Chains A and B, each alone.
Chain A
Amino acid sequence: MTLKRLAQSLAALGLALSVALPAHADKTVLNVYTALETDQLKAYQEAFNKQHPDIEIKWTRDSTGIITAKLLAEKNKPVADVIMGVAASSMVVFDREHMLQPYAPQNLKAINPKFRDAASPPKWVGMDVWGAAVCYNVAEMQKQGLPRIESWKDLLKPEFKGKVVMPNPNSSGTGFLDVTAWLQLFGEKDGWAYMDKLHDNVAVYTHSGSKPCVMAGAGEFPVGISFEYRANTVREKGAPIDVIFPSEGLGWDLEALAIVKDTPRIEAARKLADWAATREANELYAKNFAVVAIPGIATRLKHVPNDYEQRLVKNDFAWMAQNRDAILAEWQKRYANKSEAKK
């Protein structure tokens, strides 16, 4: 009896505590989960609202890992209507869990076929490419008399012992794209052999793809394996780094957009998906990324070379998705275990 009354009063308390969302009578509120940077969001939202003033976007922004975990945890009752600017490798995971609604945006045929889901209609459509880059602190290079870096193989030189930082592929998408790139570039056997030797030089495996470049910029460790957007912004902020694109080829992933299955706001979601595939939107992406989904849009980043797209390795997303668990387990076995034994 007491329990029942308590349950009732608890429910009443819950209702009273719930902060009701402000009602928007004439506007559709679209919940968009994203891993894009805050400053990028503003520009995209303004441009989108110019065309669709009747749709209000509510962003939930966090790092790729957290947003992906959050979406997976909410799987039974999704809050998000659209997932925008989240890694294609995460989209593959969502797809495996049947969380995505296939949709072909109006401008789909303009999109580079390499940068979208192969299914028709596609489950997700790419927006832009983020790829590997190495941040090399030139101030520390001169101070410590370190050699130049042009290729991935250069990182194996004994002078770099304990001076390289890279993201842990188990916790960072950037780390995973590096590992898959090496495996695809050098082949399975030589790829692991390369990482074995690199491991001897790695000081720390970080849990974020941005951190290695930030650490290189602050001179904590002179060499940071990171990605080009972060390299560009760290450099812009005045860090004494060179942004290096190793000659053998660069690993990459896509930032992509997908509609969440069974969203009650499907019309508005489609409008956002349509807009995200337009040329106008791609021109906005190009302000931050060297390669975008529509070919031939050229606003280049200051510290990224013009032929960046040619330097990307051939990426097989299906292969990556299929072998993801096996690759990560192998990595864990080889490096997480003995990482402590060395000084």
Chain B
Amino acid sequence: MTRRTLSLPWLGEGQTTSERLSTGLLIGAAFLLCVFLILPLGVLLMGSLFDDAGEFSLVRFIEFAATPGMGRAVWNTIWVALVVTVITVPLAFLYAYAIQRACLPLRGVWRIVGLSALLGPSLVGAISFIQWFGTQGVLKSWLGDSSVYGPIGIILSTVYASFPHALMILVVALATADARLFEAAEALSASRWRKFVTVTLPSARYGLISAALVVFSYSVSEFGIPKVIGGNFPVLAVEVYVQVVGMHNFGRGAVVALLLLLPVLVAFIVDWRIQRKQQASLTARAVPYVPRPDWRRDLPLLAYCVLVSVAMLGVLGMAAYTSLVKFWPYNLELSLTHYRYGLAEAGVLDAYLNSLKIAGLTTLVGTPFIFLVAYLLEKNRSGPAWLRPLVQGAAALPMGVPGLVLGIGYILFFNHPSNPLNGLYQTLAIMVIANVVHYYTSCHLTALTALKSIDREFESVSASLKVSQFVTLWRVTLPVCLPAVLEIARYLFINAMTTVSALVFLYSPETLPASVSILNLDEAGELGPAAAMATLIVITCALVSLAYSLLTHFLFRRQQAWRSPSR
């Protein structure tokens, strides 16, 4: 791999037009990330450095350290996140392996079901687990004497909710492999296990680490799940909620938010160090690997997929069931009253249309932006030295920022009288931007994972042929990365449909999204209508996913033909 070590003055004379253009674009992206991520967070976190009188002081940190139970909350947050990561990543890896490297019937179905937890608000999982394992739950006996309210419930729900996030990255990581390596291994008569350990795992290493980071950060920053199912088990994300929403203490909320960012900082450093060692698995001379049927491998993997799918659908199924029964658990008669009530009386129809609009715009704005930034980071080595770490850091930051923190940061920053971007406040646009920023990291990692599997030689070749880098992007890189791009688009759409935490502070009467109205219905005890609306969202997202798969099927045929060796 050749790496430009010659340092060029950025935007200097010695660069080609396309290099200058890409540096300029990257600086533009860095500027946008500063305005829409770093400054709002900065404004909020500044609050932690001032006391009630507005003087600079560290009193809030001292107060925090003195608050009883905070040490426990920190410890709880970390060990729960570790347990969730250790459970989720292997589960998701095996699942992704089954989808990509085995010959299973109905591959598309397993894939959609595996991602199904994304289709509903994260709350759905927690509510459904309460109904399966709670006091009135059918499966209560499975937990023995322990209560679902507490660490067990949090871990179960978070594993469920973070599974698709890991799966998405791992599916991309396992999408491409060089068949020559497997042939070589075969020729050396390596065992199945040895091939797995020496060929499959190393090539997916970057994806595995990314997935682990995403799951860990997801678990640290998720507040909806512990709020609903956490019982008296204190964790930091809920502590932010209690400080800001319950006690109206923004300063101390900022201190806790700052603590939440620490794991992300660690994650960023790990990511950055490993990335430097990453090599492209798909070199310009690679032959795509295509699995051949082998029942000894395929049958157990199929069983595993069925098992996971049943569990996944069981969670969503319980929500759908709740939306149809009259009064759970005492009147189990089936009826559609909750749907009628929700749509007609609780005014969810408008909210539903708002959500569609927000999700559509988030996808259209977010996908090109995120992919382009990842591309510029990965394939471009020019520009000032501070630029790339800055963008990289900004891209990793959102995964550790709870939506709640982002939302309040947005209010404080954009609604400030002296902010020239003031006009954005209370518009649909700011909600779209908040969504793109909030879900940035997973998408960014997906894009990077895909880009990293392409050899940089493609660029070198095009450079020597005097073809602009952007022509190569359009003709080679983009088509090769199309699966990842579509994955990002779907991820953004679905998350924008289901997210609550950032938007709950940003919506105006005209832009109330459906997911927030579900939260309100649940708070008010309208469990049935809440489940009904959640089911509607799940169905919408499922339909979009399906339409997406069908639409892109044709596209794939044409553009991804190179993946099959029988070209």
Contacts and interface: CB of A to CB of B under 8 A. Distances in A.
Interface of A: 2-3, 6-7, 10-11, 14-15, 17-19, 21, 31, 37-39, 58-63, 65-66, 68-70, 72-74, 76-77, 79, 93, 139, 168, 170-172, 203-205, 207-208, 210-211, 213-214, 217-221, 230, 233-234, 237-240, 328, 332-333, 336-337, 339-340, 343
A77 B426 CA distance: 12
A72 B417 CA distance: 14
Contact of A219 (B135, B244, B432): B135
B245 A18 contact: no
B69 A14 contact: no
Contacts of A234: 525
A59 B510 CA distance: 9
B310 to A, nearest CB: 25
A203 B134 CA distance: 13
Contacts of A2: 11, 24, 27-28
B231 A171 contact: no
Given A79-B425, A340-B234, 19 more contacts: A11-B420, A17-B432, A18-B424, A38-B347, A66-B504, A69-B245, A69-B505, A73-B408, A168-B246, A171-B246, A172-B246, A204-B231, A207-B238, A218-B136, A233-B525, A239-B327, A339-B232, A339-B234, A340-B233
Nearest to A226: B525
Interface in B212-254: 227, 231-234, 238, 241-242, 244-248, 250
Interface string B3-36: 0000000010000000000001001100110010
Contacts of A3: 27, 31
Nearest to B11: A2
Contacts of B425: 79
Contacts of A221: 135
Contacts of A73: 250, 408, 411-412, 415, 505
A292 to B, nearest CB: 21
B326 A333 contact: no
B520 interface: yes
A208 B224 CA distance: 13
Nearest to A333: B68
A211 B523 contact: yes
Given A73-B408, A238-B326, A240-B330, A328 B247 contact: yes
Given A11-B420, A214-B525, A332-B68, A171 B248 contact: no
Contacts of B347: 38
A171 B245 contact: yes
Interface in B425-443: 425-429, 432
B422 interface: yes
A108 to B, nearest CB: 28
Contacts of A79: 415, 425-426, 508
Contacts of A203: 147, 149, 231
A21 B510 contact: yes
A10 B27 CA distance: 13
B72 interface: yes
Contacts of B97: none
Contacts of A168: 242, 246
B79 to A, nearest CB: 12
Given A10-B32, A18-B429, A217 B69 contact: no
B386 to A, nearest CB: 14
Interface of B: 11, 24, 27-28, 31-32, 35, 67-69, 72, 76, 130, 134-136, 145, 147, 149, 227, 231-234, 238, 241-242, 244-248, 250, 326-331, 345-347, 408, 411-412, 415-417, 420-429, 432, 504-505, 507-511, 516, 520, 523-525, 527
A98 to B, nearest CB: 14
A220 B31 contact: no
B319 to A, nearest CB: 14
Nearest to A11: B420
B423 A14 contact: yes
A171 B330 contact: no
B331 A219 contact: no
B246 A207 contact: yes
A71 to B, nearest CB: 9
A204 to B, nearest CB: 5
Contact of A72 (B27, B250, B416, B424): B250
Contact of B248 (A14, A68, A237, A333): A68
A38 B518 CA distance: 13
A217 to B, nearest CB: 7
A15 B432 CA distance: 14
A198 to B, nearest CB: 14
Contacts of B516: 62
A326 B330 CA distance: 42
B13 to A, nearest CB: 16
B231 to A, nearest CB: 5
A207 B136 contact: no
Given A19-B429, A211-B523, A240-B330, A70 B242 contact: no
The interface centre, meaning the residue of B130, B135, B244 with most chain A CB atoms within 10 A of its CB, is B135
Contact of B524 (A59, A76, A210, A337): A210
Contact of A170 (B28, B246, B420, B424): B246
B345 A39 contact: yes
A343 B246 CA distance: 26
A171 B240 CA distance: 11
Contacts of A58: 508-510
Contact of A220 (B136, B327, B331, B508): B136
B323 to A, nearest CB: 15
Contacts of A17: 424, 427-429, 432
B149 A332 contact: no
Contacts of B525: 210-211, 213-214, 217, 230, 233-234, 237
